[in-house]
Chain A
Amino acid sequence: MSDKQSAGEWEPKIVAIVCNWCTYAGADLAGISRIQYPPNVRIVRVPCTGRINPFYILKALQEGADGILVSGCHPGECHYITGNLTARRKFAALKSFLGYIGLEGDRTLFTWVSASEGDRFAQVVRGVTDAVRALGPARKLVKAIQGTEGPV
């Protein structure tokens, strides 16, 4: 990755952790509808945003993700009724805390995309990719491989 950076070819790596019922279906709809969005996101499907252990986000940052996007059903529309409502509190506290220790706010982004919002999903990915690109490669919390500069 480091030689790519020097050549100015760095592309942000973004982990998108999305819920099965809304955002994943939304991403699917974006695909079916052939809406173009940047290929920088790696989608991880989980049953519900409430299932996401906040450690996943920290761990992804440590393993070299330049940005993390978490997206689920809109509040009130959770397949499991309240999963995203408890997740909202978890992520509000996590984001505030990461900001407090000095991590850039745009590294960790949270949003809601429903199954019918394929265009919104594409917009979110574009927005997130632009935001992370503006920040440049992640440097904080990133674990280096032994003897190299780059992340794992």
Chain B
Amino acid sequence: MEQVEKRLREEARKLLSEKKVDVIVGYEEGTLPLTATPCFIATPEEADRLVWNPFCVQNLAKFVHDLLGQHHEAQKRVKPEARRKKRIGVVARGCTTRSLVIQLQEKQYERDEVVIIGVPCGGYVDGRKLAALAGGAEIREGALQGDRVIARTLGGEREAALKEILADNCLTCRFNQPVISDIRTGEPAPAAEAEKEYEPVTAFENLPAAERWAYFEKEMAKCIRCAACRNACPSCYCRICFAEQTQPRWIGIGDDPTDTQLFQLMRLYHMVGRCVDCGACVAVCPMGVDLRKFLKKLDKDAFEMFGHRAGVSIDEPAPLGAYKDNDTEGFIFEPKTGA
């Protein structure tokens, strides 16, 4: 891990001093123990702020899209001859690179506008599991020693194996190596248990419909429509989200539970073949809604129905923007003839 961090800082310093990038999006030490937070590095001297450890949670593709989107917008007001490209360096793990691929597939920016520094990823720590480890008490100090995480609270010291507090999506990650990168740092990370990735979905599918609906209602009742999931999601980048549209107003602004259900359903449905299971939405949700249970189903469907894995190849179009002549027809209603 220290090796990767060292390489990362060297590469970042080199990129910035050679002016190959304008800014690098990475992670720095968080203000609280056992956390890391996204940061923007614009000068070579700052490169030492960069860190790489299992506390780096957020999907940085979101920031790449935001920065480039703002830049493109600003360039519209510049004379054509004075326009310039902005290049963004990004520290990217497997899921971040897949999000970048999705944004590239969807022609949000060009490949030469991003410099991808691929990092190996063994998964990140789930904030909720860490809080549970600390027994809900405030973590005063923390350390990562090998594969043990130590959290000191006023009540004493708690310790756990890193694997025990990794986020659920990391435990069954299929793409923990960067799918595209300009610069690679570190050795490939060991594979996770990808063959188990759809187990919770299959288990849920086998429940009776009434139980599934009850679970959906229960989870959606927690949602306070703060839109943190949307704001953290690298695939959610519409300038005006349907949730805020007023003509038509898709989502009522009252406290009716169906409005929340519809908001979530619509946002989830946008993720068919576009969710990379980075867990950013789950990590930021203040209410702990089990979004992953539903997102994973869309991922499974996109793979089983259309043979599509989100964000794996730039040349492959988004599944709902493409078709095949022999696409599934099993859901088509056929009336009984002569009825």
Contact: B269 with A97, CB < 8 Å? yes
Interface string of B77-113 (1 = CB under 8 A from A): 0000000000000000000000000000000000000
Nearest residue, chain B, Cβ from A131: B333
Contact: B333 with A93, CB < 8 Å? no
Contacts A94-B269, A120-B335, A126-B339 hold; do A58 and B262 have CB atoms under 8 A apart? yes
Contact: B298 with A89, CB < 8 Å? no
Which one, A96, A102, A110, A111, contacts B209 given CB within 8 A? A102
Contacts A86-B320, A127-B336 hold; do A144 and B262 have CB atoms under 8 A apart? no
A130: B residues at CB distance < 8 A? 339
Contact: A124 with B212, CB < 8 Å? no
Greatest chain B CB density within 10 A among A92, A120, A143 is at A92
Contact: A101 with B265, CB < 8 Å? yes
**Closest-CB distance, A2 to chain B (whole angstroms):** 17
Contact: B209 with A141, CB < 8 Å? no
Contact: A58 with B265, CB < 8 Å? yes
A58: B residues at CB distance < 8 A? 262, 265-266
Nearest residue, chain A, Cβ from B256: A143
Contact: B216 with A102, CB < 8 Å? yes
Nearest residue, chain B, Cβ from A126: B339
Contact: B214 with A102, CB < 8 Å? yes
A-B contacts, CB under 8 A, total = 122
Total interface residues on B, CB under 8 Å, equals 49
Total interface residues on A, CB under 8 Å, equals 43
Nearest residue, chain A, Cβ from B254: A146
B321: A residues at CB distance < 8 A? 86
**Which residues of chain B from 279 to 314 have a CB within 8 Å of any chain A CB?**
294, 297-298, 301-302, 305-306
**What's the dominant secondary structure at chain B's contact region?**
helix
Contact: B320 with A111, CB < 8 Å? no
Expressed in whole angstroms, the Cα–Cα distance for A117 and B252 within the complex equals 39
**Which residues of chain A from 72 to 122 have a CB within 8 Å of any chain B CB?**
75-76, 82, 85-86, 88-97, 99-104, 109-112, 120
A95: B residues at CB distance < 8 A? 331
Expressed in whole angstroms, the Cα–Cα distance for A97 and B201 within the complex equals 12
Contact: B214 with A92, CB < 8 Å? no
Contact: B294 with A101, CB < 8 Å? yes
Expressed in whole angstroms, the Cα–Cα distance for A97 and B299 within the complex equals 11
Expressed in whole angstroms, the Cα–Cα distance for A75 and B337 within the complex equals 20
Contact: A141 with B335, CB < 8 Å? no
Contact: B305 with A92, CB < 8 Å? yes
A136 part of interface (Cβ distance < 8 Å): no
Nearest residue, chain A, Cβ from B304: A96
Contact: A127 with B320, CB < 8 Å? no
Contact: A55 with B301, CB < 8 Å? no
A31 part of interface (Cβ distance < 8 Å): no
Expressed in whole angstroms, the Cα–Cα distance for A72 and B144 within the complex equals 59
Contact: B212 with A101, CB < 8 Å? yes
Contact: A55 with B266, CB < 8 Å? yes
Greatest chain A CB density within 10 A among B323, B328, B332, B333 is at B333
B306: A residues at CB distance < 8 A? 89
Contact: A89 with B327, CB < 8 Å? yes
B259: A residues at CB distance < 8 A? 143
Expressed in whole angstroms, the Cα–Cα distance for A55 and B204 within the complex equals 24
Contact: A93 with B334, CB < 8 Å? no
Expressed in whole angstroms, the Cα–Cα distance for A104 and B213 within the complex equals 10
Which one, A88, A104, A141, A143, contacts B252 given CB within 8 A? A143
A51 part of interface (Cβ distance < 8 Å): no
A29 part of interface (Cβ distance < 8 Å): no
B69 part of interface (Cβ distance < 8 Å): no
A109: B residues at CB distance < 8 A? 333
Expressed in whole angstroms, the Cα–Cα distance for A134 and B86 within the complex equals 60
Contact: B258 with A126, CB < 8 Å? no
Contact: A93 with B258, CB < 8 Å? no
B334: A residues at CB distance < 8 A? 111
Residues of B participating in the A interface, judged by any CB pair closer than 8 Å: 204-205, 209-216, 242, 248, 250, 252, 256, 258-259, 261-262, 265-266, 268-269, 272, 294, 297-298, 301-302, 305-306, 319-323, 325, 327-337, 339
The 3 A-B residue pairs with the shortest CB-CB distance, nearest first, are A102-B213, A127-B335, A102-B212
Q: Can you list 12 A-B contacts with CB-CB less than 8 angstroms, sorted by A residue number?
A: A55-B250, A69-B333, A75-B329, A85-B325, A88-B329, A91-B331, A97-B297, A101-B216, A101-B294, A123-B335, A123-B336, A127-B339
